[in-house]
Amino acid sequence: MARKPSETERIKTLEFYDVLDTPEEASFDRITRLASTIMGTPMAMISLSDRKRQWFKSHVGTIVREIPREVSFCTHAIKGRTAFIVPDASQDARFADNPMVWGEPNIRFYIGVPLTMQNGHNVGTLCTLDTKPRVASDTEVAILSDLARMAVDELELRRIAITDSLTGALTRRGLDQRLEHELERCRRYKRPMSLLALDLDHFKTINDHFGHAAGDIMLQSVVSMCRDHLRSIDVIARTGGEEFVVILPETPGPEAHLVAERLRNLIETSTVRAAGRTLNVTTSIGVTTLGTHDTTHAQILERADVALYQAKSAGRNQVVFAAGAA
């Protein structure tokens, strides 16, 4: 007997793809536009089912970006493996009293195809909706299913594009996307954020003396060490050969400085076994905070880089703090 999918595992899968609350992307918008056109419906969404909300990565025919899961049609659709179809929601006992049926946007027709990821978990749906009752043909269901597969492929490609294949840290593209999101969130809720820029000191000597394979092991170990000592909400990205950036949400400057010192000490006192030898490395770190006059994430990155350069110029293996303008 097949094991019933775990909601906890499903949410972990969704979080693994790191797509919730990210900006709109043309590759996903093309799919929803096609779905709306082919189905002849005024609304279409790539919908992701979070713990308590339905969040739309892409949407046509509505400006809403999320709704509560308790009123979501997609909550039903993600339980299956094939298209979930509601010809007339006003005549369906499961939805007749739904506020989105008897009120705006007056949904009648719904079809949602689950977005099934590689591990078998459904993270959401590609769905289209109409304000009029209707029936979906077999051809329409088949085409929508193909488009849903394309949405899954885009999620997989997106994950690859924003993840460094060696260390599992975010790439520069992934960092830019996450920082843009964090900047928007901090502005909206007036919350603190800090940034660390790290550079491994004299890393070239490891590659030169012990080979690039040993250098790769060192990079992987440093990222692993950092992750083990950071919170789940913190993010690490690899921005260069031996350069990294750490985003510290909800963290004011003094706390960020302490985090940086802990990481610096951790890396300095840790050893890595590679090329038949025990190797170690130190790191220089620049720290900054989000300032009230920061309008782009590039400004924050530049200030962290300046602080990092000062740490390296002052002798390396140390932390320099540069506060954002109040």
Whether residues 80 and 183 share a domain: the answer is no
Which of these, 303, 164, 160, 306, lies nearest to 235 by C-alpha position? 164
What's the total number of domains in the chain? 2
Which CA distances in Å does 33 have to 43, 79, 321?
Answer: 9, 25, 47
Task: Match 């790539």 to its residue by tokens.
Answer: 46
- Taking the C-alpha atoms of residue 63 and residue 171, their distance in angstroms, rounded to an integer, is 30
Whether residues 85 and 146 share a domain: the answer is yes
Per-residue pLDDT of the chain (326 residues; tens, 9 = 90+): 445 568 999 999 999 898 998 888 999 999 999 999 999 999 999 999 999 999 999 999 999 999 999 999 999 999 999 999 999 999 999 999 999 999 999 999 999 999 999 999 999 999 999 999 999 999 999 999 999 999 999 999 999 989 999 999 999 999 998 998 888 888 888 899 999 999 999 999 999 999 999 999 999 999 999 999 999 899 999 999 999 999 999 999 999 999 999 999 999 999 999 989 999 999 999 999 998 888 888 999 999 999 999 999 999 999 999 987 65
Pick the last residue of a domain from 161, 184, 200: 161
Q: Is residue 152 part of a domain?
A: yes
Catalytic (active site) residue 242: yes
- Taking the C-alpha atoms of residue 41 and residue 258, their distance in angstroms, rounded to an integer, is 54
Whether residues 20 and 156 share a domain: the answer is yes
The CATH number given to whatever domain includes residue 69 is 3.30.450.40
Which of these, 250, 272, 260, 268, lies nearest to 198 by C-alpha position? 260
Catalytic residue among 104, 242, 250, 302: 242
